[in-house]
Amino acid sequence: MSGVFDHETYLSPLTWRYGGEAMRHLWSEVHKRRLLRRVWVALADAQQTAGLVSAEQVADLRAHQDDIDIAAAEAIEREIRHDLMAEIKTYAAQCAVGGAIIHLGATSMDVLDNVDAMRLRAALDIVIRQLEQVLASLAGRIEAEAHTATIAFTHIQPAEPTTIGYRLAQYGQDLLIDLDELRRVRANVRGKGLKGAVGTSASYTQLLEGSALTARQLEAQVMASLGLEAFPVATQTYPRKQDWLVLNALAGLCATLHKFAFDLRILQSPPFGEWSEPFGAKQVGSSAMPFKRNPITAENIDSLARLVAALPRVAWDNAALSLLERTLDDSANRRLLLPEAFLLTDEILRRAQGLVEGMHFWTGPIERNLRDYGIFAATERVLMAAVQAGGDRQALHEVIREQSLAAWAALQAGRANPLAELLAADERITQFVPADAVPGLLDASGHVGDAAERALALAAHLRSALTPASTSMYEQGAL
């Protein structure tokens, strides 16, 4: 039960270490109970329209809507073992006039599932806004590095040249897919509505008999007050497939950020040495090895992303194993599942923002690797020039293969790449291509095709997909 928590007892790292304050507050118990009361006030307000309760009763509920008393509610819960009823009793005790009509006609999930839908939507607003900020920063880095040639790697082996901007554009393209999916999921978040114990609205139909409203009209009025659409049909709960769709979208986003962070970790390794994450002036890399500059932010992203990736499976079980009109075996895990998924994603996005803005591209290693390995890819230019001068493509291909293997052996032995010299001294090549032209043809820095143009176009597309700077509904205080 609640009290003053400190580090003498177990605290989730999400309580204090990971996740932002806005997301943490959104999933807080106090905020949840305020939203519960908001639903009860909206229900009572609609019931006043139907003539079932008085304006004074509704006004009394509204006056005490924010008077959350968790200690009192938990004392009641210890006795009755029903958390929602404990909150109802706590609220009712605060409302001398309106307390008797709280939750009239409703079942627990009429309230709880609408609250969860509101929290899902507000949490998605925060994630989407964070992702847009990452994309805005990434677009700037793509534009700045669109023309910066670098060696590309396939199978984690040197391949042909690309540009840093074009590599970054791959992450941007995936993140844009994630943004589209998050927006789609957010637009389709629905509440249960007011449909009673098994979704048939039987209790409301009976309660409203002879009144000015039908059960569906009552539901529509309440949901309009909450700013939330309802599923057209439901059981005791809203379809648990909704949770799975939301968590899948979060996991998809985290997959993209995991790849970005993993790539950075590889490129920060000294044998590559091309990229590095920010490193503070007083930052300690290792307790044993003072020289270490470990990519701890990227490693943290990958570590947390693995956990997010595992959560949709639990949501899948909740959807697939919700038998008939409802079982309760989803309730306990959803108290963990939903806030954890969003808080983890929140932390991953916060750290990704820092990486995108602060990562460094090291000119020396980039040029070294391009010089040592890009030359192999550029042999294609020598081959084409020689064939155009009348050479046999197959015979020349074998010459270049032979000399490339010799050059690769020299590199493996720690010597400088001798390929340019080997080809410029090979008469089988120079009979078609002048020796002094070979080094220029083997300069791979320009062998990047239209990578720069495509990178710049992608950056422009990212910018066009972003919404104007704004705050989420939660940040505006609407929830």
User: Could you list the active site residues?
Assistant: 155, 286
Asked if 37 and 348 touch (Cβ cutoff 8 Å), the reply is no
3-state secondary structure of 160: strand
Q: Which helix (H) or strand (E) holds 162?
A: strand 157-163
β-pair partners for 230: 191
- C-beta neighbour count of 296 within 10 angstroms: 17
- CB contact burial 149-174 (16+ within 10 A = b; e otherwise): bbbbbeeeebebbbbbbbbbbbbbeb
Asked if 104 and 47 touch (Cβ cutoff 8 Å), the reply is yes
Q: In Å, how far are 55, 94, 102, 105 from 47, measured between CA atoms?
A: 10, 20, 11, 10
* DSSP result, 352-418: HHHHHHH-EE-HHHHHHHHHHHHHHHHHHHHHHHHHHTT--HHHHHHHHHHHHHHHHHHHHTTPPP-
Asked if 337 and 315 touch (Cβ cutoff 8 Å), the reply is yes
| SS3 readout for 344-368 | HHHHHHHHHHHHHHHCEECHHHHHH
- C-beta neighbour count of 422 within 10 angstroms: 19
Roughly how many angstroms between the first and final C-alpha of the chain, as a whole number?
26
C-alpha torsion 10→14→18→22, nearest 10: -140
Asked if 58 and 48 touch (Cβ cutoff 8 Å), the reply is yes
